[in-house]
Structure formats: C-alpha cells, structure tokens
Amino acid sequence: MAEASSESDFTNEQMARFKSLLKRVRQAGISVPTISTDNSSALLTTNLNHFNPAELLVQKNVTNSLGYVRTGGGIFGQRPAFPLLKSVSTLSASVRHVAIVPEGQSVGYDRAYIAPKNVRIGTLTIGFADGYPRDLGNGRGFVSIRGAVFPIAGNVCMGMLMVDLGPAEDVDGIGAKVSVGDRAVLWGPEHDGDSEGTIRLQDLAQKLKTTQSALTCSLNRARVQRQYIE
Amino acid sequence: MNVHRSIQVRILRVQSSFFIDMPPSTGRSASSPSRRSATPPISNCTAGGSANNNSQHYHPQRAVHQIRLSALRHNYSIISSAASKQQCSVITVVKADGYGHGAIETALHLADYCGADSFAVATVDEGVTLRKALNQMNVGTSATAVVPTPNQNQNAVVPNPNPTVVKKPGNISTLFQPPASVEVAISGAGCDTSSIGSMPTSVVPLPLPVVGPPVKIGATKKNRSPNIRILVLGPPTHLPDDFALYQQFNLELMCSGPQMARALMEWVANCDARRIQEVEKAASYQQSILLEQAMEEEDDKQMARNKRAGQASTLSNVEGVELGKELRQILLKKESMGRTSGHGSDHMSSTPTSTRGSMAGTVDANGQQQPVSQATAPAMSFKGIEDAAKASRVREMAAAKVLAQTAGEEEVEDDDDTSLEDSDHNNVVNDQAVSIAHENDAADSAVVSAVSSAAVKDASAKVSSSTMKKGVAPATARRKIKWHALVDSGMGRLGFKSVEDEDGDEEEKGIPLDKLPAPLQAHTKKNAKWKIGPHRDTVSIIKAMTDAEIFGGAPIGKLSSKNAMDVIDFFTFDTLLSLFFLFLNAYRIFRNVHPYGRSIFRIRLYK
C-alpha cells in the first residue's frame, strides 16, 4: 500500500479496484485461496478499515481462509509512525584519535571546518564508505559518545569522520573525557534499557529526506561488522 | 595478511594526523598523561547494552552494526497480533539482506523464537541463500553468534554458512595489535616520528577486549515450522531459466499472469535445450565420479607416471577408451533405471547437440570417448544430432512410455517429452494465428477460436490417452512451481485496456462507462485512460480456460484451501494446453494494451 491513510483517495480507490477484481474472479467460480494487501504501515494504521476479513476472505467451500500481510519495515522497527515498535539497529564506531586543534586551523577535506577557537577534535573509525551518509557532515549529523552528543566537524571522509568535542579549555565536560577506544554511537539505542537512543535513526532519515531502511540497507556489508545482541 | 592489515591501520593513523592541522607541539599537550590513564576505554555511561551486566563490551572493530534481537521479537509479536485481528498471517520481508540487518540471521531467529513461517525476499538469489541456510540450520541445531573476541576464538560458532557474516575474531584482534616493526617502517618513511609518537593512539596500548556473552540466534526453542515458505517478491528476471531454481529450492514467485504464461511457454518451447543441459550436467557429474574413481585406482601409478613424465594428472593421462566405455555403461544403467522408476531420463541415450564452448571430452554415437586434454573443465557434452539418432530416440521414448503405462506409474520425463512434441505443434499453430492476426485484426477472435477448438480436440485426444483419464496426480511434488498472481501493478496489463490504443469496433463491445463500478468510473472520468476491456479481461481468460475443461494441471483447477497457492505442473500436457489458451488471450490483451506490445512480443517469442 503506497499511502497508508484512511483519508487517502488513492488508497481507497486502489482497494476498491482490488475488491472489484476479487469479486468478479470469485463470481466466475474461481477459488482465490488467499490474498495479501497490507504492508507494515497499512497493517498498523488503526484508522484504516480497508481490510474486512468477512468481505475479502470468505468464499464458498473454503473455511478458515487466511490472508497475508507482508511486513518488513515494521519488524525491523523502522516505521516511526508507530511508537509501539522498538528500534532494532545501532550503529557504532570507536574513537581512534583525539587532538586539540588551535583556532583557525582546518579539519578534513576541503578544509570545511575551521576551528573557531581551540577545540578538541575526535576522529571516529567510520566514514561514508561504511555507509554513514556523507550528507551528515559539517554539523548536520551528531554522534553520541559517553552519553553526550557531539556534532560532526567538517566533511565525512571515506573511512573516518571527525567530531567536535568542544572547547579545549573546558576540562570538566564530557568532551574532555573522550579518549581513544571510546564507543561512539552514530544511531540507535545505546544500551539495554534504552528504547530509542540519543540519536534516533528516524531523525536522521527525516533530516536526510530518506527512509530508515535506506540508511540501514546502505551499510557496507564488508566493512561494517554485524553483532547480534539481546 | 595480518601484517598487511596492520600496515593499513598504521597508515590510517598517520593520515588522521595529517587531516587535523595540528603542529606536533599541540599534539603533545593533547596527549596528557591523564588521557592515557583514561583507558580502559569503556566508561560507565557507554557500557554497551549487554545481556550480562558484569561484563563490558569493548568495540575494537572499525564500525559495528548491532541488531537487537529482543526488539525484533517484540516488533514481530506486535505485527502478528495486529495481523491476526484481521485474519491474516505474517510474511516477514527480509529482502535486501533483511533491510541491512542480515536476512539469514533475522529470519532464523524469528522462525525459531516466534514461529515465523513465511519469508519474502526480492530476488531468486536471496531466496536460494535463505533456503539453503534454513535447510542447514535445522531445528535442533544450536546456533549462536558470539560477539567476536580473541579470547573466545575456539567457542565461536558462526550462525551463517556464509563465513563473511561474522568476521573471524582472530583477524580483528591482530588488526589492533600492530607489530612494532611495521610501526618503525612507516615512521621511517618520511613521517614525523615525533608527532606520531606523541599521539595517544600509538602510545597507549590497547587493552584486551572484554568478553561478551554469546547471543543465541536461533534453533533452541523448536518453534520453527516444518514448512517454511519463501516468496520472491521482486519481478522475476530470468524466468524460463530460473524455474529450475524456484523448483529446486521451493521458492514461490509473484508475477502477473501474462508474464507467467509467456515464461512457461518459453520454458516448454526450450525444453530441448534444457534437457541437453540436464544431460550435460548429469554427464559431467558422472564424469567427475569416474575421474575420481580412476584417480583413486590409479593413484600410485599415476603419481609414478607423473613423476616420470613431469606433468600434472589430467584426463589425458586416463585411458580414454576405457573411460568412455565405463561412462556409457553408467549412462545406460541410469537410463534403464529411469524407465522403471518413473524419474528416468530417457533422453540419456539421445545424442543432442550442445552449443556450449567448454568441452572436456566428446562422445560419439557409439559411446567411444575421445579424450581431450582439458580435464580441469568438468563440463561434458555430446556431439551430433543425426536423424537416425533422433528417430531411435523417439522409438525409445515410445517404448519407455509404454513401459511406464503398463507399470501404472507416472512418467515425469515422458510428460515432458509429450509436451515438447506438442509444444512444437502448438507453436506452429501459434505462429499461424499470430501471422493471421497481424494481417487482419478484425478476424482476430475467429482465428483464436478456431485455433482453440483445434487445440482442444488435439489436446483432449492426447490427454485422455495418457494422464487425465487415469486420474493420477500429474507430477511429483518437486516438480511444482508456486505462483502468486500479482494483480496490484499488473491490473492495467491484464484486466484493463487503454482507450487510446483500441480499435473502433472493439470500443463498441466495451462496457459503457456508467456501468463500471463507482471508483473505476471516477478513475476513468478523471484520466479517461483506462476502462474495462471488451471481452478479454482476467475473468474471461480464466473462464475460457475452465470452459475448455482443463482442470488437471491448470493453475486454477488445482487450487484448494489446503494448498492455499496457485499450483502449476507445467510438465504436463494439460497445463501446456491451458497455458496455450492463457497465452493466446494474454497476447491479444497485451498487444492491445501496450503501445509497443506488438513488436516486443513478436521479437521475444517468435524471432
């Protein structure tokens, strides 16, 4: 279903067309054992009453016929309209390097980031080749390290990216505590009790005008290691 | 290899120091002793969600994609309860490698822990991979994924038959323990040694990772359904050829009726080539067995000979004539077995041609093999398609058929042969019909009906003589293809036709606008593009098929609530006939609806 909403004329018409075809096929004496109309969104949209089993599934000489729903995004927790679903995916990298960049110095390709003051810059082990969108560079994207959120400094490189950990003079902040080997979460829940995480995949998708599936699908299979956790 | 990797890591580090415009002095100040002591790197707030609270995860990998199985199960239960409210069961879509989460792992987990019994993928390859994995990971096998750590090297059980899914732990550990010599080598290569030395990365030794608990991916709770269905959602691409894959791995496909009909027609028409391929496959298999045997038998001799001659052991070293005789005997044996068992390949004795380029050896009609030196290529083909051989083959086929009928068994391959012969005939008729149809559009329906009746007579004669009268199931279960009619996007092609593209006389037969269902009416008024076709929409096609009393293997007649899917035995002749009808009708619709339909169709099917 392309547009899962009870107010969508398109959906209503689509469904009516489907029903009409189904009716005519059945009137011709042909048994249609099962049908499938819903994807994740159509299934979970509660005000959408298009699927009436009594109307769609009942036919002569067949009892207990089941319909089918085809759901992928919902199962992977990627349908933001439905808060019942839980996020499945967490993308993380580690801090490989921390340095203090003096005011006026640049970071990364095209010198896109010029330090406004003396700043701490952390380098993470992930880049656009891994599937982290390059569009999230230059402060659009954020990274969570030690529970605090830091903006991306400069362009995202192919194999790494740099984050702005805050002013170098600030020695008490979390940014000053970030050290090599720290886990940096790029999206998703960070630990057990965390349902959504500080940086939500759905926010990134919205920011990039794309979908969560597009982001998880573009993770590089050879470079990004998968871990299955409880 | 490991050294190479660590070189890469070193280069990475050196580069990172270049990216950050930073004089060596500031670098030194940055790497204060306090930071060095800040390792072990996992602080309390970043203790990655582990099942075991006492252990802390360390992530030495570059980038890690963690997949939370508990959330997966949670979401599945939400979806399946919502689905059951509307009398639906769930097909879990795991296309594109499970949306990037690992199709096999997620499917396996949901199958074992949540009882998910249907999965959908986008391509045949994905389907095959998933089926293989499901077969391999049978219920009862315990599969666990271990968070890869060097310490658990021996215990790690990779859940995936594909070893790349979870990287070998050993590599990762060595990746982050660069040998000192490499560091020196890079430092010496024009880099500022002092600046590198001041970097915290190169000074602070990385601590050993903390071992995480293994996470079970599947197969302990035995919730798994014995029959897991896999549905290929994407539009089928290499359809006639891929039928073999759909069959072999029990995959269901989804496509529109005309496409299916066309593919099946092609499949039947290409029967010859396909069987040649089967013969080749069987022959190459036999040959490989023979080769193995020969190698074993003559192992010592061979080695000695190789030593003397100083050459590798190839087919050219094996006695060619003997091998040929042996091969021929095996083939003949298989053929006779096939005749009695009903799954025989009676074409084994035939001598079809092959257009394949790779030939390891050739066998002439007498079974004398002439050894060719390319033993490395296992492919094997036969030479020559003489008329005499063909005639003898037909005789043998007939004999086999008689044998089978007296035995009261169903001959799968014989049906195949029948359909081959008949398909030839049908194709002729088809060609006629098509040519006439092109000459005179108005006479279309007349031609079709004439052809139909002729075909029906022809068919009824043949069918009644063989399969249908006996009332035996036409083919074995492994010969079935499950096909889902795609009406969502195929509607325009199958059931409706374009107003722009239709002839004047046909327009009169069309259903008037005001008699259309309300939503369709609105649609038609709005776009003035689609309307219900005059007499050849989906229902009338299906009706035509049922009218011709071709229930036996036809897609419609075999439907039952139990089977719950359209089932086609395309090896049987009655199926062929029904497809012939479907094909003819689909052709007409396709030609009318699709602006380029005519040319495309002709090129693809008749030229």
Q: What is the pLDDT of residues B468-479, one digit of tens each?
A: 333 333 333 345
**Segment B274-289, tens digit of pLDDT:** 778 778 888 888 888 8
- B540: its two tokens: 């009338």
Please provide residue B93's backbone torsions phi and psi, each rounded to the nearest 5 degrees. -85, 120
| Per-residue pLDDT at A62 | 66
A120 strand-pairing partners: A100, A166
Strands A89-101 and A183-187: antiparallel
Three-state DSSP at A135 gives helix
- B340: its two tokens: 């009695």
* CA-based nearest residue to A15, from B512, B255, B487, B525: B487
Among A67, A70, A191, the residue with its CB nearest the CB of B48 is A191
Which site among B12, B20, B225, B539 would you substitute to test the A interface, given the most A Cβ atoms closer than 10 Å to its Cβ? B20
pLDDT band at B530 (very low <50, low <70, confident <90, very high): very low
Where in chain A is CATH 2.40.37.10? Answer: 91-217
CB A227 within 8 A of CB B65: yes
**Residue B591 is which amino acid?**
R
Nearest CA in chain B to A123: B16
Average pLDDT, integer, range B244-267: 81
Strands B251-255 and B481-485: parallel
| Per-residue pLDDT at B220 | 53
Nearest CA in chain B to A198: B46
Among B90, B167, B207, the residue with its CB nearest the CB of A69 is B90
**Secondary structure (DSSP) of B76-92:** HHHHHHHHHHTTEEEEE
Over the range B463-475, which residues count as b (16 or more CB within 10 Å of their CB) and which as e? beebbbeeeeebb
CB A138 within 8 A of CB A113: yes
CA distance A160 to A123: 7
Residue A151 burial (CB count, 10 A): 17
Q: With a cut of 70, say whether residue A35 has pLDDT above it.
A: yes
| Per-residue pLDDT at A9 | 80
Average pLDDT, integer, range B554-578: 41
Which site among B22, B32, B66, B173 would you substitute to test the A interface, given the most A Cβ atoms closer than 10 Å to its Cβ? B66
Among A53, A76, A229, the residue with its CB nearest the CB of B87 is A53
Q: With a cut of 50, say whether residue B133 has pLDDT above it.
A: yes
Residues B30, A99: C-beta atoms closer than 8 Å: yes
Residues B89, A21: C-beta atoms closer than 8 Å: no
Residues A38, B96: C-beta atoms closer than 8 Å: no
**Segment B260-279, tens digit of pLDDT:** 778 877 877 777 777 787 78
Instruction: State the nearest Cα–Cα gap between B212 and chain A, in angstroms.
Output: 10
Average pLDDT, integer, range A34-40: 80
Instruction: State the nearest Cα–Cα gap between A114 and chain B, in angstroms.
Output: 10
Interface of A with B in 185-204 (CB under 8 A): 185, 188-194
Highest mean pLDDT among A133-137, B181-185, B234-238, B404-408: A133-137
Residues B87, A181: C-beta atoms closer than 8 Å: no
Interchain CB contact of A114 with B (< 8 Å): no
What residues of chain B lie within 8 A of the CB of A188, using their CB? 66
| Per-residue pLDDT at B487 | 56
Among A12, A70, A223, the residue with its CB nearest the CB of B91 is A70
What residues of chain B lie within 8 A of the CB of A196, using their CB? none
Interchain CB contact of A67 with B (< 8 Å): yes
Q: Is pLDDT larger for residue B86 or for residue B440?
A: B86
Average pLDDT, integer, range B340-369: 39
Give A181: exposed, middle or buried? Use CB within 10 Å, 0-12, 13-18, 19+: buried
Residues B57, A183: C-beta atoms closer than 8 Å: yes
CB B363 within 8 A of CB B382: yes
Nearest CA in chain A to B122: A72
- In this predicted structure, which of A4-18, B217-231, B364-378, B491-505 has the lowest mean pLDDT? B491-505
| Per-residue pLDDT at A33 | 72
Interchain CB contact of A65 with B (< 8 Å): yes
CA distances from B401 to A97, A139, B395, B465, B576 (A): 77, 76, 10, 12, 19
CA distances from B583 to A192, B565, B590, B598 (A): 57, 21, 10, 14
Residues B63, A77: C-beta atoms closer than 8 Å: no
Rounded to the nearest integer, the mean pLDDT of chain B is 53
Highest mean pLDDT among A61-75, B180-194, B313-327, B467-481: A61-75
Instruction: State the nearest Cα–Cα gap between A168 and chain B, in angstroms.
Output: 9
CA distances from B76 to A190, B233, B603 (A): 21, 20, 47
| Per-residue pLDDT at B254 | 81
CA distance B277 to B285: 12
Q: With a cut of 80, say whether residue A103 has pLDDT above it.
A: yes
Residues B50, A120: C-beta atoms closer than 8 Å: no
**Segment B422-458, tens digit of pLDDT:** 333 333 333 333 333 333 333 333 333 333 333 333 3
Q: Is pLDDT larger for residue A5 or for residue B283?
A: B283
| Per-residue pLDDT at B344 | 38
| Per-residue pLDDT at A70 | 87
What residues of chain A lie within 8 A of the CB of B119, using their CB? none
Instruction: State the nearest Cα–Cα gap between A182 and chain B, in angstroms.
Output: 5
CA distance B457 to B463: 10
CA distances from B62 to A126, A136, B125, B153, B162 (A): 6, 19, 29, 19, 21
Q: Is pLDDT larger for residue B448 or for residue B389?
A: B389
Instruction: State the nearest Cα–Cα gap between B183 and chain A, in angstroms.
Output: 16
Residues A88, B35: C-beta atoms closer than 8 Å: no
Residues A40, B79: C-beta atoms closer than 8 Å: yes
Average pLDDT, integer, range B290-298: 80
Interchain CB contact of A156 with B (< 8 Å): no
pLDDT band at B459 (very low <50, low <70, confident <90, very high): very low
Highest mean pLDDT among A86-90, B53-57, B251-255: A86-90
| Per-residue pLDDT at B397 | 60
Interchain CB contact of A72 with B (< 8 Å): yes
pLDDT over 70 percentage in chain B: 27
CA distances from B129 to A92, B133, B229, B374, B481 (A): 28, 6, 13, 32, 18
A229 strand-pairing partners: B68
pLDDT band at A21 (very low <50, low <70, confident <90, very high): confident
| Per-residue pLDDT at B172 | 32
Q: With a cut of 90, say whether residue B107 has pLDDT above it.
A: yes
Residue B38 burial (CB count, 10 A): 20
| Per-residue pLDDT at B105 | 92
Residues A72, B95: C-beta atoms closer than 8 Å: yes
| Per-residue pLDDT at B592 | 54
- CATH code of A91-217, in short, is 2.40.37.10
| B517: CB partners within 8 A, 6+ apart | A16, A17, A20
CA distance A53 to A66: 9
A150 strand-pairing partners: A143
Helix, strand, coil content of chain A in percent (nearest 5) = 25, 25, 50
pLDDT band at A139 (very low <50, low <70, confident <90, very high): very high
Interchain CB contact of A209 with B (< 8 Å): no
What residues of chain A lie within 8 A of the CB of B82, using their CB? 43-44
Among A13, A29, A72, the residue with its CB nearest the CB of B92 is A72
Three-state DSSP at A194 gives coil
A with B: how many residue pairs have Cβ under 8 Å apart?
A: 376
Residues B145, A100: C-beta atoms closer than 8 Å: no
| Per-residue pLDDT at B282 | 80
Highest mean pLDDT among B55-59, B168-172, B370-374, B527-531: B55-59
Q: With a cut of 60, say whether residue B415 has pLDDT above it.
A: no
pTM higher than 0.80 = no
Which site among B32, B70, B74, B79 would you substitute to test the A interface, given the most A Cβ atoms closer than 10 Å to its Cβ? B79
**Secondary structure (DSSP) of B408-465:** T---HHHHHHHHHHHHHHHHHHHHHHHHHHHH-STTHHHHHHHHHHHHHHHHHHHHHH
Which site among B8, B62, B547 would you substitute to test the A interface, given the most A Cβ atoms closer than 10 Å to its Cβ? B62
* CA-based nearest residue to A135, from A55, A215, A71, A54: A215
Let me know how many helices (H) and strands (E) chain B has, helices first: 26, 14
| Per-residue pLDDT at B447 | 30
Q: With a cut of 90, say whether residue B25 has pLDDT above it.
A: no
Among A69, A181, A230, the residue with its CB nearest the CB of B83 is A69
Highest mean pLDDT among A58-62, B165-169, B327-331: B327-331
Which site among A46, A69, A75, A162 would you substitute to test the B interface, given the most B Cβ atoms closer than 10 Å to its Cβ? A75
- In this predicted structure, which of A52-61, A106-115, B388-397 has the lowest mean pLDDT? B388-397
CA distance B178 to B112: 41
**Segment B165-217, tens digit of pLDDT:** 333 333 333 333 333 333 323 333 333 333 333 333 333 333 333 334 446 66
Among B13, B88, B110, the residue with its CB nearest the CB of A68 is B88
Residue B399 burial (CB count, 10 A): 12
Please provide residue B64's backbone torsions phi and psi, each rounded to the nearest 5 degrees. -130, 130
Cα B180 to chain centroid, rounded? 48
Instruction: State the nearest Cα–Cα gap between B516 and chain A, in angstroms.
Output: 10
| Per-residue pLDDT at A193 | 77
What residues of chain A lie within 8 A of the CB of B48, using their CB? 92, 183, 190-191
| Per-residue pLDDT at A65 | 74
What residues of chain A lie within 8 A of the CB of B145, using their CB? 227-228
Among B66, B95, B166, the residue with its CB nearest the CB of A90 is B66
| Per-residue pLDDT at B260 | 78
